Structure 1
Amino acid sequence: MMNKKEKLWTPNFITLTVTNGLLFAGFHGLLPTLPIYVLQQGGTNAQVGLLAGIFTFSAIIIRFFTDSGIAKFGKTHFLLLGIFICLLSALCYNFINEVDHILYIRVLHGIGFGIATTLYATIVVDIVPSSRRGEGIGYFGLGTTFMMAFAPAAGIWIIDNFSFSILFIVAAVCQAFALVWISFCKFTISDSMTVPTQTAPLSVLDRIVETNALFQAFLTLLFGACVGGLLSFVALLAREVHIQNAGYFFLVCTACVFISRIFTGKIFDAKGHAWVIFPGAILLMVGSLLLSQTTTITLLLAAAILYGLGIGTTMPALQTWIINVVPANRRSIASATFYNFMDIGVGGGSIILGLFAEKTGYASVYYYSAAIMAVFLISYGFYIVHHKTSAQNAPILQTTQDN
């Protein structure tokens, strides 16, 4: 019995994985198309820039209050509320023509998305066996990864062949499926619906960030900054060096993310975070250096392989590690911390690296991305040197039991 592997692919886990993918389908399908819609409605480039900024900002702000929402509604019902807000937002885009009002809906959408993504991650951690947590979180992210590649292309295809109205309806239908499917799930009450009573009042800082995971959050920030440069400037780099079909970069990258998540979670659970994070960060650094030298489609796709393996390895490992270093009643704050620092890293990295790109060209962006990952590796190396005990690098820390 001790050697029997605990079941991972339960009906609830499958439901959460698939519906999380549907949530992200509604998000990523609108990501490249809403800017086009805003410009068609007479919006300015500055307003287009606000679309992503206010969405991210509202998602970050609402995550500061996830514990309060869980205490009031319970995890499952709070998740349903977040999905419902996303559904309502997708429907509202269809009836709003004024750009200022579209921005207001974007704030609402960000609130719903911030709630839903945090609660999805929190509930998944609750239902996944602790001995397979790294593997489970890796698999859970596959739906998100698939939609990152498929949904933007599908969204553009819909507006090219049909209309924005059809696009908004499709986005709403994705959210509706997720909402109905989750509604029929029955999660374990003790895991998914309650929050243990705090023995002492929480400080303001403890309510908005998990202070026990600040170092892990710092690494997540650096990782997000590197990824932000990737997402924002690869297509522009390809245009700068006259490479056609740059979209293949994202297809290859996504495929490699899929491949890496199949086995790296198991390695995390068996050997610990160092066996996964070090290789992943090195792959990202080398991929960045390769992109800085890219002049052909072959080099671009080689960099895509390295980036895909690096992202698929590092991201779920950081997320699992943050969850593992906190008590069970702090998991929602830990999840919010992970997503907030990731979003800040992606957004901040895109802005700062964009300033460098304006002055020195897009290839230089990836020198700086490589430097960011070098800082990541040095910081992480110092952490490992100063935490060499077996307990610190165990697959599941004894101080964070599920009970």
Structure 2
Amino acid sequence: MEIKKVESHSTTTLWSRSFLLLLFGNFFIYQGILMLIPTFPLYIKQIGGNDLEASLPFAVISISALIVRSISGTAADTFGRKPLLIIGMCILIAFNCSYFVASGIGIILVLRFCQGIGWGMTSTVLATIMSDIVSPKQRGEGTGYFALSIILGTSFATVLGIEAMKRYNFEVILLISTILVGGGMLLTLGISMESAKKHLKPKRVKKGILWSDLFEKSALLPASLCFLHSITFGGIMSFIMLFGQETGIENVGIYFVGHVLMILISRPFAGKLFDRKGHAFVIVPGIALMIAGLLMLSYSTTTYMLIASSLFYGLGYGAAHPSLQAWAIARSPGERKGAANGTFLSSLDLGYSVGAVVLGLIATHTNYAVMYRISIIFLVAFAVIYGYHLIRNKQGNLKKNENSEKLA
């Protein structure tokens, strides 16, 4: 009877109503929140802020989201997904509206920090819901499409925010952002949470919060690898425009067109390959392509070279990143998937932040081309750590087989 239940679950279609609602809801929420990333600095400058103050809205929301992610994951495992999701999205919408009446850069930054709490809660719970409604045998494919909704939401958000800022004012952008987040909230409320109930952690009374509850140990390896490759992507997002100015390449934004295109192309086969063959068959070629793409980017002097580098890096990123998240979820116990997602997404935030700061310091002492070459070190470290894990895992399996043969 137990075996039949598992088989029945594994044959469930990926494209359920709940999964579609999740993808579209996640797309709108990411688009609504992230369209403020490129536009807030312009607004801060308009109201008299300097360059440092203009960079702070992104920094403070990342810091507060990073702080709250692991706590949110543990809370979602204990108290349920829907209450945390509703609270998180209400915080997002409430603080979006608060910017309409905020005056002064200091007040805006405080509000932005508070909004990051809602962002950390919402994004973590949505990722946890995804791991609930996707069957284990379709985890690689399902996680890939979920990651795609984030990537597309981010890309559209950047374009929509910049174009709206050119034509209108920041108040119009806030209105559009609030509508998008509200629409995403309505969609996600229609998701069935029945599959999440079996993953909930039994509630127990204990004195204080254990540090071990705030992160999932089994997800630390994939999260650490995610941190390393996210440093390089953080450098690309932060400095690609300045790199274009340095090299004289016009329309450098076309880099992200190639990046997204290759992620779209990689999704149908990368997720299925993960489910059938395992993470090594996707992550190893993925990281090799990212190294090649980053090296090509550092030597790019024409638009064609820039596009070629984006295709290599985008294909590698589209294969490696969702596979790392699927691997983190697969390694974690059912009742700790929220904490696993919180751990993984925290490493993503941390990687982007470290990439922007550390690589920025390198660029000030060299140039952006050299900075991108040096950033390859983080991907090499990724390859070394992951390779060591694969070798140790293989040796462990050989020892188990030898012991089994001796016992036989």
Which residue does the alignment assign to 2:215? 209
Determine if the alignment matches structure 1 residue 101 to structure 2 residue 99: no
Q: Percent identity?
A: 32
Which residue does the alignment assign to 2:49? 43
8 Å CA contact 1:123–1:192 kept in 2: the answer is no
Distance 1:183 1:193, change over 3 A: farther
Determine if the alignment matches structure 1 residue 338 to structure 2 residue 323: no
8 Å CA contact 2:78–2:202 kept in 1: the answer is no
Which residue does the alignment assign to 1:401? none
Paired residue type of 2:290? L
Distance 1:8 1:187, change over 3 A: same
8 Å CA contact 2:141–2:272 kept in 1: the answer is yes
8 Å CA contact 1:126–1:191 kept in 2: the answer is no
Quote the Cα distance in structure 1 between the aligned partners of 2:93 and 2:277.
Answer: 41
- 1:186, distance to aligned residue in structure 2 (A): 2.9
Which residue does the alignment assign to 2:380? 374
Paired residue type of 2:250? Q
Please show how residues 4-403 of structure 1 align to structure 2 within 5 Å.
Answer: 5-67=11-73, 69-70=75-76, 73-188=79-194, 190-191=196-197, 194-197=200-203, 204-388=210-394
Distance 1:193 1:330, change over 3 A: closer
Quote the Cα distance in structure 1 between the aligned partners of 2:162 and 2:91.
Answer: 24
229-238 vs 187-196, greater mean Cα deviation: 187-196
* TM-score (norm: length of structure 1): 0.92
Quote the Cα distance in structure 2 between the aligned partners of 1:340 and 1:134.
Answer: 20
Paired residue type of 1:259? I
8 Å CA contact 1:253–1:308 kept in 2: the answer is yes
Quote the Cα distance in structure 1 between the aligned partners of 2:129 and 2:397.
Answer: 25
Cα-to-partner distance string for 1:191-239 (whole Å, 9 max, x where unaligned) = 3883334699897331222122222221111011111111111111111
Which residue does the alignment assign to 2:405? none
Structure 1, unpaired ranges of 5+: 393-403
Distance 1:89 1:177, change over 3 A: same
Paired residue type of 2:223? A
User: SS at the partner of 2:200?
Assistant: coil
Cα-to-partner distance string for 1:5-63 (whole Å, 9 max, x where unaligned) = 43000010001111111111112211100001111111222222221221111001111
103-112 vs 195-204, greater mean Cα deviation: 195-204
Paired residue type of 2:248? H
Distance 1:190 1:116, change over 3 A: closer
User: SS at the partner of 1:64?
Assistant: helix
- 1:182, distance to aligned residue in structure 2 (A): 2.2
Paired residue type of 1:23? I
8 Å CA contact 2:92–2:115 kept in 1: the answer is yes
8 Å CA contact 2:77–2:339 kept in 1: the answer is no
Structure 2, unpaired ranges of 5+: 399-408
8 Å CA contact 2:143–2:326 kept in 1: the answer is yes
Paired residue type of 1:25? Q
Which residue does the alignment assign to 1:398? none
8 Å CA contact 1:243–1:297 kept in 2: the answer is yes
Quote the Cα distance in structure 1 between the aligned partners of 2:90 and 2:152.
Answer: 22
Quote the Cα distance in structure 2 between the aligned partners of 1:28 and 1:379.
Answer: 32
Paired residue type of 2:75? G
- 1:389, distance to aligned residue in structure 2 (A): 6.8
User: SS at the partner of 2:159?
Assistant: helix
Cα-to-partner distance string for 1:99-118 (whole Å, 9 max, x where unaligned) = 11110111122111100110
8 Å CA contact 1:283–1:307 kept in 2: the answer is yes
8 Å CA contact 2:77–2:338 kept in 1: the answer is no
Distance 1:215 1:189, change over 3 A: closer
8 Å CA contact 1:20–1:144 kept in 2: the answer is yes
